[in-house]
Chain A
Amino acid sequence: MVSKISKKIYLFLMFAFLYIPIVVLIAFSFNDSKLQGVWSGFTLRWYIDLFKDAEILRALYITILIAILSSVISTIIGTFAAIGIHGIKGFNRNIILNLNYIPVLNPDIVTAISLMALFRFVKVEFGFITMLLSHIVFSIPYVILSVLPKLKQMNVNLAEAAMDLGATPFYALRKVIIPEIFPGIITGMLLAFTLSIDDFVISFFNTGHGISNLSITIYSMTRKGINPIINALSTLMFVVLLVLLLVINKRSDEDLKIGGN
């Protein structure tokens, strides 16, 4: 009995710890004062201001655009790479996998500056393209790591059999392999999307020409004093993601009921 109560208290404290800052952020998006920490009445003006603030809207646009492009491109490259790696055995496979692990294990700041050095070396102008490329670089390994286990579960002989029966490799890929590993591809793409949306360090070092995503905008705002507009924006993004998740969850529940599996 005692342990049950203490377990409840512990769970409560843990989730309170995780949620209090977020609740505070959301609450202060409705606060009628620029100063955070002092409540001075309810307002919606930050939400109205948000839709007038060209800088933040542009940052939002860039964030989403980069997230979509980088997750799609890295999913395509990563899926093909995973299929290929799956067919490679032994020593070479280990080298490839370890190389692939580097961006996952390296601290963000090291990945960021090493890419910056590369872009400097080949004399590319910093801006949208460098930011996009750097996001693709750190996303692909995650796609590969989510697709590989699905390939392992797949029946190895399926694709071989299809090709023996005269299917071109591309046909085998499209009709046999991709459908089998589709859940892994989706996981990888979502992972890449989330990583891209939340990234700060790598974007910070690999941007230029006034291209800034939300993280960079927020970082420069924290130096000038945060504007409640940013609270309003994150509240909206948070709600959108939450609703999206609930919808997906509900749909997959229904799918389960219909499919019976």
Chain B
Amino acid sequence: MKLKRAAYPYIVWMMVFILMPLLLIVYFAFTSGDSQSFLDFTFSLNNFKRFFTPTYLKVLTRSVNLALLSTIISLIVGYPLAYIISKEKSKRQNIMILMLVIPMWMNFLLRTYAWLTLLGRNGFINNILAKIGVSPLNLMYNNKAILLGMVYNFLPFMVLPIYSVLTKIEKNLIEAAEDLGANSITIFRKVIFPLSLPGVITGITMVFIPAVSTFVISDLLGGGKYSLIGNVIEQQFRVTGDWHFGSALSIVLMIFILITMAFTSKIDKEKEGGGGGLW
């Protein structure tokens, strides 16, 4: 088929702009030397050795914990939302989905920054509390604020895929279950939830990946007090200038994400007998 050829330019493009950059990162990660001259590098495993010290492992653990927590919270508050929307009439469904997406049109940094206005010591919430005589609370610059920022920014990524899977569940399946005398809880547990799993898996990956690698949210809402892996990577490229270590950290992060995804899509496949998982 002649149309195949239309893909060839893009294959070259992918080699240059997707594969090559990754190979460069791998090259940096396994070498040491002056970051700025590409030719005098020597092979070295020091960057990875350095990562596997308590300092940096602790940072990775904290990032993973926060990301997991925000994913779980998004799932718990997001699933019912997706479910309720999918049960509405089609016109209302569209409106509600639109309402879910509209906040994402505000610039990501501004959306996050808005929380500073709300949570700051002299912020909106504390001002209201002061009016009713409550002394100001410390809401900003802690792990909870970071968590809130993650859930707020990534919640729609959880709701949308679950919603789209839920709307595709065949009505007659549910009716059949009802006919067989199953109550609504059983139907949900035995029919709806298992069928919505692919959406849940997509949602989990779409929340977990940006959450585990963010450096902006921890920067803005954490007040620079808590480094996540994203902050340390940024630090290597922008402050320390150690591209080798920064690349090694990126590779660790990538591998970690690949493993998590392989793991979740495996669960998906076992339950589903072969879903749309990638790896």
Contact = CB atoms under 8 A, between A and B. Distances in A.
Is A in direct contact with B (CB under 8 Å) within the complex? yes
Contacts of B247: 113, 117
A21 B152 contact: yes
Interface residues of A, number: 77
Interface in A225-261: 226, 230-231, 234, 237-238, 241-242, 245
B111 A22 contact: yes
A160 B237 contact: no
A25 B216 contact: no
B209 interface: yes
Given A107-B212, A140-B10, A205-B237, A218 B107 contact: yes
Most B CB atoms within 10 A — which of A80, A205, A231? Answer: A80
Given A99-B19, A121-B38, 14 more contacts: A18-B152, A21-B115, A21-B152, A38-B122, A84-B5, A88-B7, A105-B205, A108-B210, A117-B28, A117-B247, A169-B2, A173-B3, A198-B104, A218-B109
Contacts of A14: 77, 81
9 contacts: A10-B80, A10-B84, A11-B84, A18-B100, A18-B103, A28-B117, A37-B127, A84-B3, A198-B104
8 smallest CB-CB distances across A and B, nearest first, come from A84-B7, A107-B213, A81-B10, A114-B21, A84-B6, A21-B114, A87-B4, A36-B117
B117 A96 contact: no
A74 to B, nearest CB: 10
A223 B19 CA distance: 35
Contacts of A101: 278
A85 B127 contact: no
A83 B11 contact: no
A114 B24 contact: yes
A178 B120 CA distance: 52
Interface string B207-218: 001101101100
Contacts of A237: 105, 107
Most A CB atoms within 10 A — which of B9, B84, B216, B261? Answer: B216
Nearest to A151: B3
Interface of B: 1-11, 13-14, 16-22, 24-25, 28, 38, 77, 80-81, 84, 98-100, 102-111, 113-118, 120, 122-124, 127, 152, 155, 205, 209-210, 212-213, 215-216, 220, 230, 233-234, 237, 243, 246-247, 250, 253-254, 257, 261, 278
Nearest to A101: B278
A113 B7 CA distance: 27
Contact of A118 (B21, B209, B243, B250): B21
A189 interface: no
A113 B24 CA distance: 10
B226 to A, nearest CB: 17
